[in-house]
Amino acid sequence: MTDINVSAPRASLPRFQEAEPLGPQDAEFVRDLAAVLARHGNLNRFGLCLLHDHFPIAADEVLVETNDSRARTLHTHVEKADGTQHIKASQWRFLPHAEGAQGGEPEGAPVQVLMLCLTQDLCPGSD
């Protein structure tokens, strides 16, 4: 299990239908972000995702991802954070500097873990 602080409140995110995707107005932002990633050697390590909710997740829960490489599918579900075996964070959201890290992130990093995954297949039928 990861050491995520599950007592930290989660700020709500827009539902997928209301979340605004990247558009032409974001071109300068994307160029700036890509330049920062490149400057730190992380251009092929991190990218963007559209932050959104499909359903509520309680403060003591975490979204987890498993995969079935033979079927070429990803599966996402909710688990209790204190009981999950998923140990590697794969998605984060940025937080205002005042909120700081919650655990499981680099010290002082203003991010919150959104999703965890394992480095092996866990889905039924996988070896």
Q: pLDDT tens across 99-120, in order?
A: 444 445 555 677 778 888 765 5
Burial 54-74 (b: 16+ CB within 10 A, else e): eeeeeeebbbbbbbeeeeeee
- pLDDT score recorded for residue 91: 84
Contact 60, 1 (CB under 8 A): no
Contact 105, 8 (CB under 8 A): no
Which pLDDT belongs to residue 119?
A: 57
What pLDDT is attached to residue 83? 86
DSSP 12-61: ---BTTTPPPP-GGGHHHHHHHHHHHHHTT-TTT-------BSS---TTE
pLDDT of amino acid 6: 45
pTM tops 0.75, yes or no: no
The list of the chain residues with pLDDT below 50 reads 1-2, 5-7, 98-103, 123-127
